[in-house]
Amino acid sequence: MIYVNQLKKQYKEAVVLDVEQLSIPKSECFGLVGNNGAGKTTLFRIMLDLVRATSGSVTIDGQDVSKSEEWKATTGAYLDEHMLLTYLTPDEYFKTLRKIYGMSEADLGVHLEKFSELFNEEIIGKKKYIRDLSKGNLKKVGIAAAMMGKPDVVFLDEPFENLDPSSQIRLKKLILQEKERSNTTFLISSHDLNHVTEICDRIVLLEKGKIINDLRDKSAMMSELEAYFTG
């Protein structure tokens, strides 16, 4: 369970995030949508203790993320390419993470096999530095890294951006399979309404840092979101 309570982020006089309460149960696929500047990335960064809140708290499995380190062992995330070690090749990067997570070479092989369709023979064994990969392939490396070590919770910011249509379909399939297989909780921020409404159990709409809608009826999600974004 993830629980957000009275969370606020303020820069001088500007309040960029103001979330009274938000709870996300285990194994939910949670979508976060909103226009640019709505506070989506700020919320994720605070939830991952990459940015400190002005007030309020975030707990993951009862642990306050700003006061504990234990939750990090069961939480994966890919927000942007700055989270990658871009001076390594993908093979080197995954081997480095394997040692950090205490995985065997066989474990790593099993993990990467799940991404074989998504990688499409463009990532592994190419001896190309991560910094030289296309935007789409950077994203594929980051997502695969975020899901290493069998995390209970995975945060993905704009996972479908820069992916071609085939890769988007493969990623959706992979997320749904992992959710069913391991009861992983996914938190996905995206501008792509089609993809998030298809895979998410629930979608929260942010506007100017506040939650203005919490959609749980899948049959009505798209129509409600389209009504909001088209004005």
Terminal CA-CA length for the chain = 34
Which residue has tokens 């993908």?
90
- Please state the pTM of the whole predicted model: 0.95
Dist CA 95 CA 112 (whole Å): 11
Position 128 scores a pLDDT of 94
Dist CA 61 CA 22 (whole Å): 14
E strand map for 12-152 = 14-24, 29-33, 55-60, 63-64, 75-78
- β-pairing, 29-33 with 202-207? parallel
Q: CA distances (Å), 200 to each of 149, 172, 209, 223, in order?
A: 23, 10, 21, 15
Dist CA 66 CA 50 (whole Å): 9
Position 231 scores a pLDDT of 76
Position 13 scores a pLDDT of 86
Position 117 scores a pLDDT of 95
Q: Which residues contact residue 94 at a Cβ distance below 8 angstroms, ignoring those fewer than 6 apart?
A: 108, 112, 144, 145, 148
For each of the domains in the chain, give its residue range(s) and CATH number, in order of start.
2-85+153-229 (3.40.50.300)
Q: Which residues of the chain, if any, have pLDDT below 70?
A: none
Position 95 scores a pLDDT of 96
